[in-house]
């Protein structure tokens, strides 16, 4: 009967989408470091923990008010719930049961419930013994006011902040990486304190019994001396005691320096990680951004343009000078190799990045970054720089959507400038939106006010807009002259008045920004509304 109940429960957990959704929700809330939900939860918890600690401190002198009591109870309830949820999220019990059930069926033997229960309990205890889970548990205990000793555990509630502060967690990781050095130091320090304690007790207890009354006083004096704090409440009177003090001070000074150097070097090692963590946090807040690989001359100009147009971007460059220059300009920088998968993944190529720009001065590197980016995200826009014309096709083969050649583009500018400077500057000004006149594309949506009407009916003149042409892949337009092949479409220059617009056509119009914006708005409003799903 009980077995059937357990299997029914396991089956529910295995197949119920509600159960899975609920578990996924709590995973995003409590454990998923990428989730925005967790970030909000962490912030709320930091505020609650700090507030509760202030209330508990306040209660030392004044009796707790009803509000304080209620808040404390609520918070403790939340802590307990959080503790239990984390224990639940730690592993899937039903997987263990199913695995053993399958094994029993295969071996044709009865299910060993005792063994299964042992594994389940061991796993949960394994969770309870993790440092953060211990802190969680200790943070709950100060609420039991009847146990005054537990009030001292109030400090663990502050330790709980480690859970919610990423930087604090990283600091704990730093300490973890230097575990061996710190362990060695702790053993040496313990040895020193032991010698100091025994020495001072032997020399001073007999001669200076008023100060060094017992072994605890001796331990206390040793620690105060070795850490070079030296309160002076206990001072050695005998020559032997003073010699012990000299020895302890000198060695203590060395130990302290060693300890500081270990921590400093560990922090230094992790400094890059700390910096990158803050970059990732900032990137997560953006709706979309561009990845610039290479902060050379071209990369710098692109960054300048993106900054001018208030667009977000991240720079990846493994040249320390370039990375420092970018950092000095206040840009987000990853000092790393952009051709590595994990670097681009960390930069968000699979998430919110909208484009990758490969702008290093080395074509080999650009091809490699292009290939890596295309592999990691088949739909992302990639624009690559080719420094030598013979590498253009290689970049396209590697997956670039567009390839730019600095000298070819500059040569084109020179060629266009000669003979028609006014015309060329005008068109450049229009593209770069330096004046109020801009060139934009407007899409013809099915069912909108311009779908199926002629150019003459649209009356661009009245709208103070100029139609340069229509970009379309629609075969019905093929009868018109003046068409120029684009990639998979045709550009119909100066379409005649009887040109009938079709859905998905793109109008290339020139006009004042406000005129174009108004027309765009009209088009948007005339679109048939999509039925709500």
Partner 1 sequence: MKRIAVFGYSIMSLEVIKQLNEEQYSYVFIVKNKAEALLVAEQGFDTRIIDFTNDEAIKSVGIGENIDILFCFYPKDSDNVFLTISARALDNELTIIAIVDDPESAEKLLAAGANKIIDPYEICGRKTYDMLAKPDITDVLDHTVFGRHDLHIAQIEIPKNSSLEQTKTGALLLAGRYNLILIGVVDKVSGDTLHFVMDEKEHTLSSGDVLVVLGPASDIKAFKEEVEAVTEPSVSSH
Site for partner 1 in 306-345 (CB under 8 A): 306, 309, 311
Q: State the chain's maximal CA–CA distance in angstroms.
A: 116
User: Which is closer to partner 1, CB of 192 or CB of 470?
Assistant: 470
Window 409-448: contact mask with partner 1 (x via CB under 8 A): xxxxxxxxxxxxxxxxxxx-x-xx----x-xxx-------
CB 383 within 8 A of CB 357: yes
Q: Which residues, at least 6 apart from 268, have a Cβ–Cβ distance to it below 8 Å? A: none
Q: Which residues, at least 6 apart from 115, have a Cβ–Cβ distance to it below 8 Å? A: 100
Stretch that binds partner 1, among 41-49, 74-82, 259-267, 353-361 (CB under 8 A): 353-361
Q: Compute CA distances 84 → 137, 153, 164, whole Å.
A: 10, 20, 17
Q: H or E segment at 278? A: helix 239-284
Question: What is the number of alpha carbons within 13 Å of residue 65 lying toward its C-beta?
Answer: 5
User: Which is closer to partner 1, CB of 112 or CB of 494?
Assistant: 494
Window 61-80: contact mask with partner 1 (x via CB under 8 A): --------------------
Our finding on whether 487 is near partner 1 (CB under 8 A) is yes
Our finding on whether 517 is near partner 1 (CB under 8 A) is no
Shortest reach from residue 477's CB to partner 1, in Å: 15
User: Which is closer to partner 1, CB of 49 or CB of 290?
Assistant: 290
User: Which is closer to partner 1, CB of 196 or CB of 511?
Assistant: 511
Q: Which of 98, 506, 518, 520 binds partner 1 (CB under 8 A)?
A: 506
User: Which is closer to partner 1, CB of 230 or CB of 296?
Assistant: 296
Chain residues 449-468 in contact with partner 1, contact rule CB under 8 A: 460-461, 464-466, 468
Count of residues in the chain: 533
Please give the Cα distance from 33 to 41 (Å, whole number): 11
Q: Which residues, at least 6 apart from 392, have a Cβ–Cβ distance to it below 8 Å? A: 386, 403, 405
Q: Which of 240, 493, 502, 518 binds partner 1 (CB under 8 A)?
A: 493
Please give the Cα distance from 227 to 220 (Å, whole number): 11
Shortest reach from residue 276's CB to partner 1, in Å: 25
CB 333 within 8 A of CB 347: no
Shortest reach from residue 436's CB to partner 1, in Å: 9
Cα 184–Cα 185–Cα 190 angle in degrees, nearest 5: 100
Q: Which of 383, 444, 450, 458 binds partner 1 (CB under 8 A)?
A: 383
Q: H or E segment at 100? A: helix 93-107
User: Which is closer to partner 1, CB of 429 or CB of 528?
Assistant: 429
Shortest reach from residue 137's CB to partner 1, in Å: 52
Q: Is 151 helix (H, G, I), strand (E, B) or coil?
A: helix
Stretch that binds partner 1, among 40-48, 66-74, 342-350, 487-495 (CB under 8 A): 487-495
Please give the Cα distance from 463 to 458 (Å, whole number): 9
Window 206-235: contact mask with partner 1 (x via CB under 8 A): ------------------------------
User: Which is closer to partner 1, CB of 212 or CB of 344?
Assistant: 344
User: Which is closer to partner 1, CB of 29 or CB of 508?
Assistant: 508
Chain residues 233-262 in contact with partner 1, contact rule CB under 8 A: none
Window 271-300: contact mask with partner 1 (x via CB under 8 A): -------------------x-----xxxxx
Q: In what order do the strands lie in the sheet with 506-512?
A: 437-443, 506-512, 465-472, 490-493, 483-485
Q: Which of 130, 257, 278, 305 binds partner 1 (CB under 8 A)?
A: 305
Please give the Cα distance from 235 to 258 (Å, whole number): 26
CB 362 within 8 A of CB 384: no
Stretch that binds partner 1, among 42-50, 233-241, 314-322, 379-387 (CB under 8 A): 379-387
């Amino acid at each position: 009967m009980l077995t059937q109940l357990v299997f029914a429960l396991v089956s529910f957990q295995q197949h119920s989408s509600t159960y899975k959704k609920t578990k996924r929700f709590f995973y995003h809330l409590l454990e998923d470091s990428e989730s925005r939900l967790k970030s909000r939860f962490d912030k709320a918890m930091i505020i609650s923990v700090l507030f509760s600690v202030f209330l508990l401190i306040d209660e030392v002198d004044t009796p707790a008010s009803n509000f304080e009591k209620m808040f404390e109870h609520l918070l403790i309830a939340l802590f307990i719930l959080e503790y239990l949820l984390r224990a639940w999220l730690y592993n899937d019990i039903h997987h263990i049961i199913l695995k053993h059930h399958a094994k029993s069926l295969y071996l044709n033997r009865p299910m060993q419930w005792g063994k299964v229960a042992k594994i389940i309990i061991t796993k949960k205890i394994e969770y309870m013994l993790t440092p953060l889970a211990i802190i969680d548990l200790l943070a709950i205990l100060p609420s039991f006011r009847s146990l005054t000793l537990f009030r001292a555990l109030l400090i663990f509630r502050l330790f709980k902040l480690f859970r919610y502060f990423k930087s604090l967690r990283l600091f704990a990781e730093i300490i973890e990486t230097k575990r061996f050095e710190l362990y060695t130091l702790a053993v040496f320090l313990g040895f020193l304190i032991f010698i100091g304690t025994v020495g001072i007790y032997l020399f001073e207890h007999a001669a200076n019994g008023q100060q060094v009354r017992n072994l605890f006083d001796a331990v206390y004096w040793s620690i105060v001396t070795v850490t070079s704090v030296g309160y002076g409440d206990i001072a050695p009177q005998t020559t032997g005691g003073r010699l012990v003090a000299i020895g302890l001070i000198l060695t203590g000074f060395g130990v302290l320096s060693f300890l500081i150097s270990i921590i400093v070097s560990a922090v230094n090692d992790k400094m890059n990680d700390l910096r990158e963590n803050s970059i990732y946090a900032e990137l997560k807040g953006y709706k979309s951004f561009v990845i610039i690989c290479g902060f050379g001359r071209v990369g710098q100009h692109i960054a300048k343009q993106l900054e001018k147009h208030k667009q977000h971007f991240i720079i990846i460059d493994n040249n320390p000078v370039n990375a420092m220059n970018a950092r000095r300009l206040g840009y987000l920088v990853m000092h790393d190799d952009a051709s590595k998968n994990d670097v681009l993944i960390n930069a968000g190529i699979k998430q919110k990045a909208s484009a990758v720009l490969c702008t290093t001065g080395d074509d080999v590197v650009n091809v490699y970054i292009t290939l890596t980016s295309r592999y990691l995200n088949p739909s992302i826009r990639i624009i690559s720089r080719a420094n030598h014309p013979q590498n253009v096709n290689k970049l396209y083969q590697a997956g670039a959507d567009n390839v730019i050649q600095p000298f070819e583009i500059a040569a084109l500018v020179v060629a266009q400038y000669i003979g028609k400077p006014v015309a060329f500057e005008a068109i450049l000004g229009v593209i770069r939106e330096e004046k109020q006149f801009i060139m934009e594309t407007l899409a013809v949506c099915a069912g909108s006010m311009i779908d199926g009407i002629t150019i003459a009916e649209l009356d661009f003149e009245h709208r103070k807009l100029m139609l340069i042409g229509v970009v379309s892949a629609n075969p019905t337009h093929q009868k018109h002259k003046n068409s120029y092949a684009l990639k998979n479409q045709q550009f119909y220059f100066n379409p005649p008045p009887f040109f009938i617009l079709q859905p998905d056509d793109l109008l290339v119009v020139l006009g004042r920004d406000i005129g174009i914006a108004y027309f765009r708005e009209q088009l948007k409003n005339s679109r048939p509304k999509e039925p709500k799903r």
